[in-house]
A and B are shown apart, each in its own frame.
Chain A
């Protein structure tokens, strides 16, 4: 980007300033035609000044302090624009028709006599000022009242079409020149008749224009007359026509129409008289403006091509080709600014080939790059190409030393009078070979492309480029009179562009359309937040969203409740895409709904559980009490029976004690019932207290007894309950059978709990309840009687831990 701006700036500098020369004073510089004799006559009378060559245009030279030899039509308008303060007219020159009477006897008296004279007419040189003076004088002569250049151009066109008119031809029998030139030719031995056209002609004053006052020493007018110049006051030496009646000397009022007539005189002569340069630039202004326009177009084209290129290395080559064309045009522009055809001008001409020869090399290099689908450092033959190119450029640039490329006379008009040497053909053949090879490779690579119609255009432009180059080399007028640089650049650009469109060089032409069609919701923004590319379904990014994303790209951003923006930084901006989060939102909502429903269900279940728990507790309690009732039913019934029979009992005290004993048993048995349900352990000490309680009550009932509990540790509560029941039933039978005294002992033997009773009577008739025996059997124990010779004991064994059977 910077390089492009620099190039444009340089271009403008060249356009506006030209080639500024270093300022120097004290030089007399000629801007007038054929003024060497005048300059030679002047210098002795103008001390402090020496003759110099123009380094810049008239205006710059005057500003630099030099004295300029020029005509009044140059000096007066310049002074009106503030260039030059002092004008010193010395010589009065008149545009005349000089007829070489050694070569023609045609009767020529004025401009109109040229129509039918049938004699070749020439202009002394092809300089711009000469064209201006001739055109202005002839226009005035053909129409004194209202001079128009069309009249003069028509006359010249007529002469040219009949083969009787040419520029830069002082050898013609009839020459349109200034009178002092013809007089000089006559003094040199010529036989020219100096004809002041009878219809009218113009006289121009030649003199000195300067920013500084000049002091011309006395005697200068005499010297001018001696040198053969007519003086500004009308005095003329011998050899001039006697009458100048029809000649008009321009005054202040005449410069306006005169300048209007002579404007673009060179261009008009070329186009309207010689019919050349019809389709190309014809004068310096057109050269400059057209070059700027072409440079601008190439820069823009290069930019578009660069954007379309997929590969970086190919893009670099394309950029290089664009810059080569721009460089070539700029060098050409620079060359046009040079006033003299010196060494610098010639080096610029050679310099064209730096760019011209590089173009086919770059194209061939590009075709080599395309061989490899991946970006590599350099193709294999890169250095061969570079070597050929460098040798070619070196050969051209050193042409002044060997003249192998261009052959011309060093002091002559080398710009036009030159011939091609063997070096030129070698260089051109190599360039054409590179170009053909590059085109061939491109077409070979693009042979699979179905767009055969599109391939015609690059082929046409390639062939046109070659044909134009050949025609230019062989100086075919149409090509030779055109601008080689501009035409080659345009044809090259057209060839390249059509090659891109034909698919010979891969580009991303449809990239934007693809991007716009892709349903990716992606937007590319530049550094200012402007949308550069946007897929079709992507919404525009608002300024506020862009600014927020610019601050923080890591966190996504909500566009609305169901859309989220994501962004990543890219070169020169950011890429923003949107993601549809409606599905996520829907899932989240569903999860929230499910969670709410689950919480409600859980609350319901919790409440149901509480209710069930309460019901279960009530049911368990009921079942427990029912079971308790069943357990205690028999005992309670027996107790009720005892209580009923108590009033009838004779042994009232013993019966009451027995009832108390039963009550105690029921109470403790209830305790043990609940302990069994709780599954807790019972200490031997606690059981011992229970047994002691029974023992105490049995004593009240009249039974002498003692129960000793030899186990102090924990007991299974079921075993303890069975032991307690066993003790109660044994006591009951002992009371019933009066088997006093009764002794009981509870101990642990091995793995069994053994509860022995030794009653005072025969226990063989005692029958323990079915409920007790079943419970003992269920725990793996047994109740048995043991004969002890003088007594019979009752013994119950239970395994420790209480194994349940069945």
Chain B
């Protein structure tokens, strides 16, 4: 699941902070991960060597932020067992027999409550 989420993450990061987004494939709304500031954002890199070092740190922190965003997204997104789409908690229904996304539930005439109303 983490890998799946990670592959769906869209990078919204800037040189100042790291932020990732995932789009719910049912309602189309974006969910944004908590922004994590880049540790060296406030420091200027005057020399090429330093810039390269900062770039390396930036990439390393970005990887960590991506992993954290995936973990955060795991709490808010689910994989529909029918259509295999990533859906947000508002579009994922807890049904009697099987938890489904809203569209699949409608197709199968199942009733349920959303995870997050």
Contact = CB atoms under 8 A, between A and B. Distances in A.
A243 interface: no
B70 interface: no
Interface in B1-47: 12, 14, 16-17, 19, 21, 23, 27-35, 37
Given A544-B33, A547-B35, A560-B23, A552 B28 contact: no
Contacts of A548: 12, 19, 32, 35
DSSP class of B's interface residues: helix, strand, loop or mixed?
Answer: loop
A678 interface: no
Contacts of B35: 547-548, 551-552
Given A557-B32, A560-B29, A552 B16 contact: yes
Contacts of B30: 545, 557-560
Contacts of A560: 23, 27-30
In the complex, which range does the number of interface residues on chain A fall in? 10 to 19
A547 B28 CA distance: 19
A215 interface: no
Contact of A547 (B14, B29, B34, B37): B34
B41 to A, nearest CB: 11
A525 to B, nearest CB: 15
Nearest to B30: A558
B47 to A, nearest CB: 28
A551 B23 contact: no
A567 to B, nearest CB: 13
Contacts of B33: 544
A552 B17 CA distance: 9
A751 interface: no
Contacts of B76: 544
Interface in A555-569: 555, 557-561
A542 B31 contact: yes
A559 B32 contact: no
A361 to B, nearest CB: 53
B17 A545 contact: no
Nearest to A551: B35
Contacts of B32: 544-545, 547-548, 557
A559 B29 contact: yes
Contacts of A552: 14, 16-17, 19, 35
Given A544-B33, A547-B34, A552-B35, A561 B28 contact: yes
A548 B31 CA distance: 10
A561 B23 CA distance: 9
A551 B19 contact: yes
A561 B21 CA distance: 13
B53 to A, nearest CB: 25
A12 to B, nearest CB: 40
A552 B35 CA distance: 9
A559 B23 CA distance: 9
Interface in A22-65: none
Contacts of A555: 14
Contacts of B17: 551-552
Contacts of A545: 30, 32
Nearest to A554: B14
A545 B88 CA distance: 14
Contacts of B16: 552
A637 to B, nearest CB: 81
A551 B12 CA distance: 12
Contacts of B34: 544, 547
A225 B28 CA distance: 99
A806 to B, nearest CB: 74
Interface string A230-270: 00000000000000000000000000000000000000000
A545 B31 CA distance: 7
A544 to B, nearest CB: 4
A558 B23 CA distance: 10
A565 B56 CA distance: 32
A542 B91 CA distance: 14
A480 B30 CA distance: 68
Contacts of B29: 542, 559-560
A552 B16 CA distance: 9
B21 A558 contact: yes
Nearest to B73: A544
Contacts of A557: 12, 30, 32
A791 B29 CA distance: 108
A547 B21 CA distance: 13
Contacts of B37: 551
Interface string B32-71: 1111010000000000000000000000000000000000
A552 B38 CA distance: 13
A199 B17 CA distance: 91
Contacts of B28: 560-561
B78 to A, nearest CB: 16
Interface string A526-552: 000000000000000010110110011
Contacts of A542: 29, 31
A560 B24 CA distance: 9
A545 B12 CA distance: 12
Interface in A136-180: none
B90 to A, nearest CB: 9
**Chain B CB within 10 A, most for which of A544, A557, A558:** A544
Nearest to B10: A558
Contacts of A559: 29-30
Given A548-B12, A548-B35, 10 more contacts: A542-B29, A544-B32, A547-B32, A547-B34, A557-B32, A558-B21, A558-B30, A559-B30, A560-B30, A561-B28
8 contacts: A544-B32, A548-B12, A548-B35, A552-B14, A557-B12, A558-B21, A560-B27, A561-B28
Q: Which 5 A-B pairs have the closest CB atoms?
A: A551-B35, A560-B28, A548-B32, A544-B32, A560-B29
Interface of B: 12, 14, 16-17, 19, 21, 23, 27-35, 37, 76
